[in-house]
């Protein structure tokens, strides 16, 4: 049940980002070309998928050395922290070029 809940949180996190990407594009990237805004947002989304094998390796090592529960708790809290940071991060209009840099 614990592993299922962790997996649910992970895929929920990806789903919410994909669903709201159109709003992130306008908030965190320069105004102008809508296509480039959406491509930049998709690039951030792609980084999450490309980092999955590295995360699997790191959290597999943590699970082997510290225990599965510790690994699961750390990974779920990191996913929740990422979602929280997106919610409270200033927009492009507020902090300029730092907004896309912080979104990575």
Domain ranges of the chain: 2-103
Q: Which residues of the chain form beta strands (DSSP E)?
A: none
Which residues are within 8 A (CB) of 92 and not within 5 positions of it... i.e. 6 or more apart? 27, 28, 29, 30, 31, 99, 100
The answer to whether the beta carbons of residues 3 and 72 sit under 8 Å apart is yes
What is the number of alpha carbons within 13 Å of residue 55 lying toward its C-beta? 14
The answer to whether the beta carbons of residues 17 and 45 sit under 8 Å apart is yes
pLDDT at 3: 66
Higher-scoring residue by pLDDT: 98, 66: 66
pLDDT at 104: 59
pLDDT at 31: 79
What pLDDT digit, counting tens, does each position of 39-93 carry?
A: 888 888 888 888 888 988 999 999 999 998 899 889 888 878 877 887 787 877 7
Higher-scoring residue by pLDDT: 6, 62: 62
Neighbouring C-beta atoms of residue 40, cutoff 10 Å: 20
What pLDDT digit, counting tens, does each position of 25-41 carry?
A: 877 777 778 888 888 88
What pLDDT digit, counting tens, does each position of 9-22 carry?
A: 778 877 888 888 88
User: Residue 103's pLDDT band (boundaries 50, 70, 90)?
Assistant: low
């Amino acid at each position: 049940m614990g592993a299922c809940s962790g997996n649910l949180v992970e895929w929920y996190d990806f789903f919410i980002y994909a669903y709201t990407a159109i709003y992130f594009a306008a908030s965190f990237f320069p105004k102008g070309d809508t296509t480039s805004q959406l491509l930049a947002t998709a690039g951030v989304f792609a980084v999450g998928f490309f980092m999955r094998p590295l995360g699997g390796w790191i959290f597999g090592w943590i699970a082997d050395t510290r225990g599965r529960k510790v690994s699961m708790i750390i990974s779920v809290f990191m996913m929740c922290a990422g979602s929280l940071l997106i919610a409270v991060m200033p927009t492009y209009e507020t902090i300029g070029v730092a907004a896309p840099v912080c979104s990575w």
